[in-house]
Copies of this chain bind each other. A is one copy, B any other.
């Protein structure tokens, strides 16, 4: 551990002020090295007030919401969740290399306090965001990076920022009208990042645990992966806000902060893989290939 900590400090120093030590002073860091050397300050507990638990027969899917990017839609989703809207609904769509979708496919349930239309929060002002930029360019946006643990993009020309469609990101399905995405149908990405959806549909958060329970759902046989009448749909037992769940039943998670030297070291460890298996380190990384580590929070850590 001491050895890891020393190596890590060396690289953090390098990132902060330049190559003060020659790289040959120690072997370059792998992600495992970076995480082993991380300190408590590198992690944040995920806020239970902005966390959803979706209970399936196969287990719990945990979603961290992003009110910083979609405040109105997140509020609408929480209103739906707190009214028990999703309880007893089902997964309705599983399209290979694209999305799994769930909720009220037929729009039959009453909305209660929630709104039927929500102004589409496709982007927001980039001002005031704690944006950690990636050093590499991006195919779809002028710049990509991370904000409070979410993959994001920004455009200096327009002054706008938005979340990006990476694996495990959660969005609100909509009809043709942009404001029709009210949160009654949600999806997650289970394939190659469909970045062409950025700013076309509102992202509301990301799955921080249990995405593999959704990604293995049998693909639907109808158009766009929707399940037909005769196909079995995985039921949703309940969706709850974590803050409403008795503490003993919660899954308390910590996410690696994305505004730290540790996170920059992690990005570098993935831009140039140092594990001995690699022959040709890539020298670059795309925003959706950067891991966003999450771990169980332990007392006294």
Contacts and interface: CB of A to CB of B under 8 A. Distances in A.
A137 B196 CA distance: 15
Contact of A167 (B139, B168, B178, B192): B192
Interface in A146-195: 166-168, 175-176, 178, 190-195
Contacts of A293: none
Interface string A195-227: 110111000000000011001111100000000
A226 to B, nearest CB: 14
A211 B97 contact: yes
A122 B280 contact: yes
Chain A interface, DSSP helix/strand/loop, else mixed: loop
Interface string A105-125: 000000000000000101000
B286 A140 contact: yes
A192 B195 contact: no
Q: Assembly of this chain: how many copies?
A: 2
A150 to B, nearest CB: 16
Among A191, A198, A200, A284: residue with most chain B CB under 10 A: A191
Interface of A: 96-97, 120, 122, 136-140, 166-168, 175-176, 178, 190-196, 198-200, 211-212, 215-219, 270, 273, 276-282, 284-286, 288-289
A274 to B, nearest CB: 12
Given A140-B286, A216-B216, A270 B176 contact: no
Given A139-B136, A167-B97, A219-B212, A200 B289 contact: no
Contacts of A168: 97
**5 tightest Cβ-Cβ pairs between the two chains A and B:** A96-B212, A196-B282, A199-B280, A139-B286, A212-B219
A138 to B, nearest CB: 7
A38 B217 CA distance: 34
Given A212-B96, A219-B212, A289 B138 contact: no
Given A167-B97, A211-B97, A289-B196, A176 B136 contact: no
A30 B192 CA distance: 21
Contacts of A120: 279
Contacts of A167: 97, 191-192
